[in-house]
Structure 1
Amino acid sequence: MTASGVSLSQISLTLERLRQLTRVDVQPCWNNFLSEGIVSRVELNARRHVAWPRQQNVELIQNIIVPTTLNNFPLTDLSLRLVLRWWAEDVQIYVNDQFRQAGDLFDCSTRVLLSESVQPGDQFTVRLRLVSPKHDDGGLVQSICVYETLAADRVDPGFLADELEVFLIAITQTPSYRNQRQEHLNFLTTLLNKIDWLALPEFPQKFDNSLIALRQTLIDYISTNLPNFDSKIALLGHAHLDLAWLWPVAETWKAAENTFKSVLSLQQDFPNLIFTHSSPALYAWIETHHPDLFSQIQHQVQTQQWEIAAGLWVEPELNIISGESIVRQLLYGQLYTQEKFGQLSPIAWLPDSFGFCWQLPQLLKQAGINYFVTQKLRWNDTTQFPYSLFNWQSPDGTEIISYMSAPIGEGIDPVKMATYTAEWETQTGLKTALWLPGVGDHGGGPTRDMLEVAGRCQSSPFFPELGFSRAVDYLSEISQQCGELPVWSDELYLEFHRGCYTTHADQKRWNRRCEHLLYQAELWSAIATLLTTAVYPKAELEAAWKQVLFNQFHDILPGSAIPEVYEDANQAWQDADNTATQLREMALTAIAAFIPLSPPPQPDFQPVLVWNSLNWSCSQGVELPLSSPEAWRLYDASGKALQVQVCRGKLRFLATDVPSVGFRLFWLGRKMAETIETSFSEAENTPIQTDAFANFNTSIPLIQNSVNLNVNSPQTWVLENEFLKVEIASETGNISQIWDKKNQREVLSEIGGNHLHFFEDSGQYWDGWNIDPNYNQHLLGPPQLQSISWQECGDIQWRLQVVRVWRTSEFIQDYVLEANSPVLKIETRVNWQERHVLVKAAFPLTVPVDFAYCEIPCGVIKRPTQPQTESEKAKWEIPALHWVDLGDENYGVSLLNDCKYGYDIQPNQIRLTLLRGSTWPDPKADLGIHHFTYAIYPHVGDWKAAKVTHRGYELNQPLQVRVPSRESCQFSEQALDSNSFLNVPSDSLILMAFKQAEHNSQAWILRFYESMGEKTELKLDNQFGLDIAHSVNLLEQPIESPSFPQISPWKIVTVQLSNNSELS
């Protein structure tokens, strides 16, 4: 052992000896209270915990008697606290039969004051009633009696030990003293050897004097030999409040009320206390239900004792929501903060979200935010994130100062705080750290004991200087001190919680559906307002958006909450869905009644309007539900009969070249002269093409009486159009071959594709959050094929149904190939009944490549298929939005989806994660019925040339077909058969929103993002007489944009439009 090692060992033994004078471990002294008068001594497990099984109660009792001395140190007149830590869902603490305190999984430690001045022989009967969690064994983790003194003429040995350890941390762990480390260690060792241990117990004052002398000598030594012994810790009270998690939302409101009242009360006694909190959604609830409390908070904000770190409406999941959802989190969060507190929040406070998409810096900066704060990457399971303070750069080049904070939910622990401060100084070179004391997750905030301990530490010359500060003041100060920061130009991937891309698939489907519905509702409502007398439904849209934004909270959308949370969430999703659908239909009806249509080719023809909400021309198969579809034909605007396909009460046809944000007119006419009974009332102005949302609690009705239309060979199952020839294996139902006819090449490897891979996925403590890292080693058997049958086989669409069973779960998959489409869709219905099983759809390909391209909010990220570094290897499950593409500049294959987010990639394989079966925190997560679609898109060229982003949007926002009544329509010989209301002739610009401006009902907001990483130009054609007034940020404030209308790569662009006459 080195000299340094010997010194450290000696010092550590001495510090522990000092602590044992005033601190005694009473963990083994608990008894199980079985009934009155009957107890049994507890047994400690290997970790020295008192443990008991999950979902059970335990009552522990202990009689504490104050001795005259502890290791010969006199205890008379010292205060006594019982320090407890536990892992339990509910805790009640009684002292001498008086209730003293409650706790839970998150308020999981305390220092119970038993006496302010003890005398030998004092007795305290402590009783604990504990309830273990539903998902885990319970545990009493720590029980220590701590005797303390604040008397000026005495030195507290335990507190002195903490002071000395803080000094030891400073001289051994900070770069300032690296060269003199051994010298300082030798001095401290020599000093500690002068403690007069032999004076105890007979001469306690002599012993105290030796400690006083030691302390003063060390103070003098620091003053003379350590000129840079001047670290600081800025304190900021905090209470992380999960809006829903292991409790329902209603409980959160109560926790918030109690937390805020507690903070305000403490600020009366500790006026230096500064507190911060995020989430305007929570403040809005307080404002509505407790206006007096809200007024007090507003006052504290004005006096700078309360900081509003509320840049986003909630602290959301930020990997799997759309770019526009992030915009609305920022827009509604900042607008509320500005209106209610007179300021914008300069901080994105996101301590607990499960990773962060690469475009977040650009989005934050465009919403007036200058600082990004998290601590979640400290949870990484593989690598340590390299920076604590850095510039995070988006793909467009935007940078934001980013801060990896200290852990949240901590108390005032001088040793832990000093350790963190030393680490911070080593990483950044800065001597001022930020610490966030306060009970979190379920609220609580700072406690009185924390603040009293902080006051005691502040009076010590050994501890870093303590003082409360707002986060914005701290971040502003260090950003000026730090010089040039390292740059991180990538996503912030959390190496943990990878199952959250998949768990609770119903929430993911609801989210995707509502995001696209709200886009359509706003778009068509804006157009209806501009064209007709319709009134823009601003309040209704905002309310629906806020329901969606709330459900994007980082423990709701990821699927990591209890069942009661999803009862509330599902109602909110449904309400938002209903609102958006109703507003869209009202707008389309108003537009259809306003626009002049060309006269019908025949007097009795019914108009059919096909609507396109995307900003490029689309061609897709659409369908009309009719009571007797075989009795009708479809015609184009000139009266030419079109090819149709009839199946199960629906008339299917191909709608080609439907213009950008526009419509194309078709006509429905009788096929025969006699009267045909049909019900247009069911079809009229109803959402025909949108997928019906799955009922997750009913069984799947199997298709009966299906007809095998392949009369030549019942064992050959082939779907074919001008682009693809797809063969389905008769033995398994997998795809055995996809032949790209245009490019004359096979798409899949020789083993075929759409293999359903089932894996055991168990053993993870964070069950709903985490996939077993070794799941690939636990491949289970394949599904059993039940049947293959043709559902449709015609000129418009081929549809082949495969039914497979795995254990007690049923997979019904329709392979769908439309005319004029290079995309093979796999429409899936599953009755999922598995627990701790993971299922993926695998597509081994013939295109071995080094990188995959994945859609993220407002962009695309390139990820390696052959990871080299440990951090790359940790990304064995990755998030993506509509698609992942495996290919190079010559050829590629995309795997699209309509509500899935988890993928894994290899050089020649893509797998899409379909479902999981976790049991905590929701025992029945994902059980029941699921509807989803994924699709294979082979293409020549890279993902840009193939317009993969367009294909993803087309799968998620298909064309809409409506049959307005003839009486509601206007007809004119000069009318157009199709029309684009809004057109931007750029393949790389994706329309994110077209809406009324927030503060000017005569102005309109248009938002795009550049989607291919290329320069382009914004050219706008519209039917409303609108011109671009100026560029604005995400808060719709005017900004300078010198290069406009040139758009740089990956840029998010928002402009305000006004009528031509208003601009002149």
Structure 2
Amino acid sequence: MHDDTRLIEERIQRFSRDHLTDAGRREQVPVRISAHALPGEPVPPARAIAADDYRDIEVGQSWGRAWSTLWLHVTGTVPPGWDRPEDLCELVVDLDFTDMPGFQAEALVFTPQAEPLKAVNPLNSSLALQAGQEIDLYLECAANPSVAGGWTFAPTDLGDPDTVPERELYTIRALHLQRSDRRVRELGRDVRALAGLMRELPEAGTRRAEILRGLEAALDVVDPDDLPGTADAAREVLRPLLARPAHDSALTVMATGHAHIDSAWLWPVRETIRKCARTFSNAIALMDAEPDFTFSVSSAQQYLWMKESYPGLFERIREKVAEGRFVPVGGMWVESDTNMPGSEAMARQFVAGKRFFLEEFGVETTQTWLPDSFGYSAALPQIAALAGQDDFLTQKVSWNQVNTFPHHTFSWEGLDGTSVFTHFPPADTYNGTLEPSELAFLERNFKEKGRSDVAIDLFGFGDGGGGPSPEMIAAGRRAADLEGSPKVEFAGPEQFFDRARDSYPEPPVWAGELYLELHRGTYSAQLATKQGNRRSEALLHEAEHLATLAALRADELYPHDALEEIWHDALLLQFHDILPGSSIAWVHRDAERNHASIRERAERIIETSLAALSRTVGPDDPDTGEDEVLLNTAPVVSRRGIAPYSAAPAPSRGEGVSVMRRGDRVALDNGLVSALLDGRGEILSLIDGASGREAIAPGDSGARLQLHRDTPNAWDAWDIDAFYRHVVRDLDAPTSVEVDEIAGGARITYRYTTTAPAGSSAGVTGAGSEIAKTFELHPGDASLQITIDLDWKERRKALKLGFGLDLRAQVMSSEVQFGHVDRPIPVNTSWDAARFETCAHRFVHVAEGERGVALANDSTYGHDVLRTVREADGGTTTTVRATLVRSPEFPDPGADHGIYSLRFALRPGADTADAIAEGYRTNLPERVVPGGVARAAAPLARIEGAPGVLIETVKLAEDRSGDLVLRLYESHGERARARLVLDVPGQDEPKVAAVDLLERPFGEDAPSHLASLVRDGGDGTEERRGAGSAIDLDLRPFEIRTLRVVRA
């Protein structure tokens, strides 16, 4: 026979497009429509339904200025004659759908009693009805604009309600009752399943040819002019093809319904709440129709929104959770970023999330679920495991720009050696559809084939919501046991991970961070949001510590409710499109306002606590001799020499700072560090007084401000592409220099103004950015303080602060949660080359041997490092740079424009301990407090014998028992034996238990190394008494230890 394969394939494609798309639509009946417009913010559904100004409208009516809401009241009767077994009765809605679900107009259908029924989205735009049914429904239609705009990354005015155009964006294209034919719909699903499978099979294979001929025979049987009458006959032709079982060796794909809903992104938080209601309503409606369908949802915050705003829907969710079909996963408050949140904040994501799931549903999650965050900290495995999260899932690393990650199923080993069982869904998406092309790619892509026989697929429309659709369920059912396809099994994440562990008991190990070779610009975009985050974390640390002191030493009521509320707000703002700076202007304006609220509320707690502590000292007490003292809430000695977690009078600063001017140069020296600044405001020399070692490389400088063109190929707010380094401009000479004496020290300020090159879009017409760079050196301080003040007006530019150091450093140590990571500086591999911008918390450190240079910051996360060999002397220069600010134009065209102040501490001769201390000092500076606080603010706990063991958190227990909780960690990366000395009121011989992050005793599953919790033995899993108030602790490198001091 002649080869007619292409002809038949084209016939199948044309027939499917022309005749099967509408599922045998047979009849339409109009409905009555009236409308109530809300041009501003949404109102509660009950109030909108009760409005008295609904007016009649018709199909074809335009509607919806961006971000407005239109309520539609729809009434009518489904014809009673639409009652045959093959009839499908539906309300069909088209609000001008042109895009994927979640990225444009969408709606939620309500009863007159304001109970949500189901969402209406693109690709899932109908509501099932019954013959003869009287309908009385309300549709809340959200005119959400398509901010993405085809993903051209062009600046848009749609992300800010103050700049959106006045025009209406949409037209009601359809709203009617429709009768379709069930038989035609099922034929369409059969054809799509088989045709899709056929296209994935080898062209020369027998199975592909068999399917081709079967589809050809079915098309010969079916009559396009009588689809309902001939659909069953065509399905009979296809039945044997669909009944052919999968091979025994076929991969099993465990499919779980999912909708990764971004808690904010191209829409504000207020819209996310409605997106959750729409998606969760869809899922529950699908569960009612499909008894084996399960739906997995992370983010306790999203459940809380439902409880607060949609209580009826929340109760239905609770019912489905009890059935095991609506599955809480992740154990976190939100799907947060994991690069930038601080130590305690990362822990509290799990504490808050898991407590919510336990209290509301009685569910203990065990899977960390972060499919879309922008890289994963090396500290995460330990933090997750200490919260009882044994498994980890993401797919984001599949987005790598350069290197393909070598595993899909593996053991991820963190900073301290803790491992979590990890799986990357091989479909490389969290928006799966279960279509044959997706399943075939999954199987081809799965790197553990032959070692493991199971993988997971997350199906459902995500990002902007929507969730699984009936078509996805139908596709999965047809692939359950189908020759040529992986075997699809509907299941939840727990069932998958149990099966995967059994299938692959000895997986390969990946040690260290899961660095994403993309979205590196998120370490620096939206500086105001990042500064708000860092300050909120510091204030929460202080508020909890001082409230604990006030509760234990002054009998002040501990503000559990207030602190919990503040933490929840702060954790939401660490969502992986808020803190990284990749959201619309509306989101970041809200974030800045909310961080201001967090600061205000935390400061009130601090003020109340200090007042209570002051009242503990009588007027005749000798401690009141000082009007003011310095309070140090950091776990290291403060810059002025105050002990950790203590208050004391300010010590003498010692000798002053000498200042010498030589032409345009200024020399500073305090005996511990000397610096020489040139007329450009750059450091020509920086000498460690203890060693006499010069830190600045010959011919180079420090504190150089460099401006880069920042024009990535895509994903503007997200990305910095490697070619940004090709174009760099050092800032021009300063316009002024000011030298001042301050409290025995010196301050030198250099002021700059940028100008845009002719023809450039950078800058604002008639005005450049204004920058002030200030150096301060104080008596007794081994670090040079640098402050950068910005009035930033650039567009698509990045500003770096660079230091050319005379060091041949092999690694750059960067702080992460509860420790630091060492990243190689030499670029030996493609993995090294791809890691050209990295994230650090409060410090970076480069060294030869133990000593080198530390750079601490108060709000900067993005850094890069380069190493070059000098021609003049053959020495090596290591250049460390901090990314101060960017100015991308999508999705927020005004991103980063504004006034900022950034602080740095530059310390020569620094070892790791010095770097850690500088990070704390820069972020938790001393407070000036009333003198009466000094004795009451004495530390409740202190560490002796191990300077690397730090007490990160001091708080009262979450269960409100009044127990004291201490969270400490080993910070140097080496084993440590420390003595913990307690001074807890009323506890001469305190009882101490090692607990997990949720402050629960470990019980029989206690890690074996906790056997040394107390000096005289014991397994550390129960309350134990130390010798008096001292307890000996052995910690592994970077180990986190949470201790609960049980108060009688």
Shorter chain as denominator, the TM-score bin is 0.7 to 0.9
Displacement of 1:588: 2.5
**Secondary structure of 1:843's aligned partner:** strand
- CA positional deviation for 1:832: 0.3
Q: Take 2:251 and 2:326, find their aligned partners in 1: how far apart are those partners?
A: 25
Contact 1:237–1:273 (8 Å) recurs in 2: yes
**1:1005 to 2:949 alignment:** no
Match of 2:775 in 1: 815
Name the SS of the counterpart of 1:871 in structure 2.
Answer: helix
**Are the equivalent residues in 1 in contact too, given 2:333–2:353 (CA < 8 A)?**
yes
1:90 pairs, out of 85, 104, 112, with 104
| Counterpart AA for 1:236 | T
Equivalent residue in structure 1 for 2:748, among 778, 800, 803: 800
Task: Pick closer, same or farther for the CA change 1:433–1:535 going to 2, 3 Å.
Answer: same
Shift in CA distance, 428/905, structure 1 to aligned 2, threshold 3 Å: farther
> What's the offset of the Cα at 1:209?
14
How many angstroms does 1:917 deviate by? Answer: 0.5
Q: 1:1049 aligns with which of 1028, 1032, 1037?
A: 1037
Q: How does 1:767-806 map to 2 (within 5 A)?
A: 767-792=716-741, 796-806=744-754
User: 3-state DSSP class of the match of 2:276?
Assistant: helix
Conserved? CA contact 1:894–1:937, under 8 Å: yes
Q: Does 2:672 match 1:719?
A: no
Q: Call closer, same or farther: CA 1:935–1:569 in 2, change over 3 Å.
A: same
1:513-559 superposed Cα distances (whole Å, 9 cap, x missing partner): 11111111111211222112212122111111111111111111111
From the CA coordinates, give the structure whose radius of gyration is larger. 1
Q: Counterpart of 1:618 in 2: which secondary structure?
A: coil
Percent of residue pairs bearing the same amino acid type:
26
Q: Which residue of 1 aligns with 2:197?
A: 166
Match of 2:941 among 982, 985, 988: 982
**Does structure 2 retain, via aligned residues, the 8 Å contact 1:56–1:132?**
no
| Superposition deviation, residue 155 in structure 1 | 11
Answer yes or no: is 1:659 the counterpart of 2:626. no
Deviation at 1:12, TM superposition (A): 7.1
- Answer whether contact 1:740 1:747 (CA < 8 A) is retained: yes
- Distance between the aligned counterparts of 1:257 and 1:428, measured in 2? 41
Q: Which residue of 2 aligns with 1:341?
A: 361
Q: Which of these residues, 893, 896, 903, is aligned with residue 853 of structure 2?
A: 893
Task: Return the alpha-carbon distance in structure 2 between the equivalents of residues 711 and 951 of structure 1.
Answer: 26
Answering whether residue 925 of structure 2 is matched by residue 958 of structure 1, we say yes
Question: TM-score, normalized by length of structure 2?
Answer: 0.76
The answer for unaligned runs of 5 or more in structure 2 is 22-64, 68-86, 108-119, 129-142, 154-168, 170-179, 756-767, 868-877, 1014-1032
Query: Following TM superposition, by how much is the alpha carbon of 1:660 offset from its aligned partner in structure 2, in angstroms?
Result: 2.4
Letter in 1 for 2:823: R
Distance across 1 between alignment mates of 2:144 and 2:593: 34
Equivalent positions of 1:508-523 (< 5 A) are: 508-523=530-545
- In the TM superposition, residue 157 of structure 1 has moved relative to its aligned partner by 9.4
How far apart are the structure 2 equivalents of 1:503 and 1:1053?
33
> Aligned in 2, Cα 1:137/1:767: closer, same or farther, shift over 3 Å?
closer
Compared with structure 1, are the counterparts of its residues 14 and 992 closer, same or farther at alpha carbon in structure 2 (3 Å cutoff)? Answer: farther
TM superposition shift of 1:216: 8.2
1:281 to 275, 285, 301: 301
Q: 1: CA distance between counterparts of 2:531 and 2:259? A: 31
- Deviation of 1:855 after TM superposition, in Å, equals 0.8
Q: What number of residue pairs does the alignment pair up?
A: 875
Q: Which among 664, 669, 687 is matched to residue 739 of structure 1?
A: 687
Note closer, same or farther for the CA distance 1:818–1:11 as it changes in structure 2 (3 Å cut).
Answer: farther
The corresponding residue for 1:1032 is 995
Partners of 1:1005 and 1:1054 within 8 A in 2: yes
State the partner residue of 1:23.
Answer: 17
Does the CA-based 8 Å contact 1:389-1:428 persist in structure 2? no
Superposition map of 1:149-160 within 5 A: 159=190
Deviations, residues 679-711 of structure 1 (Å, cap 9, x unaligned): xxxxxxxxxxxxxxxxxxxxxxxxxxxxx9968
Pairing 1:833-912 to 2, within 5 Å after superposition: 833-907=793-867, 908-912=878-882
Question: Which stretch shifts more, 437-446 or 836-845?
Answer: 437-446
Structure 2 equivalent of residue 1017 of structure 1: 977
**Residue pair 1:354, 1:376 contacting (<8 A) in 2 also:** yes
| Residue 378 (1) aligns with residue 398 (2) | yes
The structure-2 alpha-carbon separation of the partners of 1:446 and 1:168, relative to structure 1 and needing over 3 Å to count, comes to: closer
- 1:17–1:278 Cα change, 3 Å: same
Unaligned stretches of 5+ residues in structure 1: 1-6, 28-54, 58-76, 94-105, 115-128, 141-147, 173-181, 621-655, 669-707
Mapped partners of 1:199, 1:583: distance in 2 = 74
* Matching of residues 497-576 of structure 1 within 5 Å: 497-576=519-598
Alignment of 1:635-674 (within 5 A): 656=641, 658-665=642-649
RMSD of the alignment, in Å?
A: 4.3
Deviation at residue 421 of structure 1 after TM alignment: 3.3
Matched residue type, 1:924: G
In the alignment, the residues of structure 2 paired with residue 217 and residue 285 of structure 1 have an alpha-carbon distance, to the nearest angstrom, of: 48
1:21-420 equivalences in 2 (<5 Å)? 21-23=15-17, 86=99, 90=104, 133=147, 159=190, 162-163=193-194, 166=197, 169=200, 185=205, 227-228=247-248, 230-405=250-425, 406=427, 407-420=429-442
CA separation of 1:13 and 1:326: change in aligned 2, threshold 3 A: farther
How do 1:434-473 and structure 2 match up within 5 A? 434-458=456-480, 463-473=485-495
Q: Which moved more, 1:578-587 or 1:422-431?
A: 422-431
Q: Distance in 1 between matches of 2:1042 and 2:214?
A: 71
Q: Cα deviations across residues 884-910 of structure 1 (Å, max 9, x unaligned)?
A: 111121531111111100000113110
* Pairwise CA distance, 1:1043: 2.9
1:217 positional shift: 8.4
Cα distance 1:273–1:710, how it changes in 2: closer, same or farther (>3 A)?
closer
Structure-1 residue corresponding to 2:891:
921
Q: Deviations over 1:549-590 (max 9, x none)?
A: 111111111111112222322232122111221222222232
**Contact 2:526–2:588 at 8 Å: present in 1 too?**
no
Q: Matched residue of 2:787: which SS?
A: strand
Contact 1:357–1:856 (8 Å) recurs in 2:
yes
Shift in Å at residue 210 of structure 1? Answer: 13
Q: How far did 1:737 drift? A: 1.6
Deviation at 1:355, TM superposition (A): 1.0
Contact 2:198 2:208 (8 Å CA) reproduced: no
Contact persistence 2:214–2:241 (CA under 8 A): no
CA gap of 1:532–1:86, structure 2 versus 1, over 3 A, is: closer
Q: Specify whether residues 185 and 481 from structure 1 end up closer, same or farther in structure 2 by C-alpha distance, changes over 3 A only.
A: same
The 1:253–1:426 alpha-carbon spacing in structure 2 relative to 1, beyond 3 Å, is same
The answer for the alignment partner of 1:493 in structure 2 is 515
1:189–1:211 CA distance, 2 compared to 1 (3 A) = farther
Deviation at 1:720, TM superposition (A): 1.2
Q: 1:237 to 1:980 in 2, by over 3 A?
A: closer
Q: Quick one: structure 1 residues 212 and 883, their matched pair in 2 at CA, closer, same or farther if it must change by over 3 Å?
A: same
Kept after mapping to 2: 8 A contact 1:274/1:306: yes
Give 1:14 deviation, angstroms.
5.4
Question: Where do residues 937-976 of structure 1 align in structure 2 (5 Å cutoff)?
Answer: 937-939=907-909, 943-944=911-912, 946-964=913-931
Give, as a single letter, the amino acid of the residue that structure 2 aligns with 1:477: R
Q: Distance in 1 between matches of 2:478 and 2:661?
A: 90
**Mapped contact 1:664–1:979 kept (Cα < 8 A):** no
Please state whether the residue corresponding to 2:734 is helix, strand or coil: strand
Cα deviation, 1:440-465, whole Å, max 9, x if unaligned, reads: 11211122333344445558665444
Provide the residue aligned with 2:635 in structure 1: 615
1:414–1:759 distance in 2 versus 1, CA, 3 Å? same
Task: Give the deviation of 1:616 after TM superposition.
Answer: 3.5
- Tell me the SS of whatever aligns to 2:700: coil
Cα distance between partner residues in 2 of 1:194 and 1:586: 78
Q: Is the 8 A contact 1:107 1:440 kept in 2?
A: no
Find the aligned partners of 2:291 and 2:127 in 1 and give their Cα distance.
Answer: 23
User: Whole-Å Cα distance in 1 between the matches of residues 310 and 213 of structure 2?
Assistant: 60
Q: Structure 1 residues 453 and 1006, CA, compared in 2 at 3 Å: closer, same or farther?
A: same
Match of 1:100 in 2: none
The one-letter code of the counterpart of 1:947 is: D
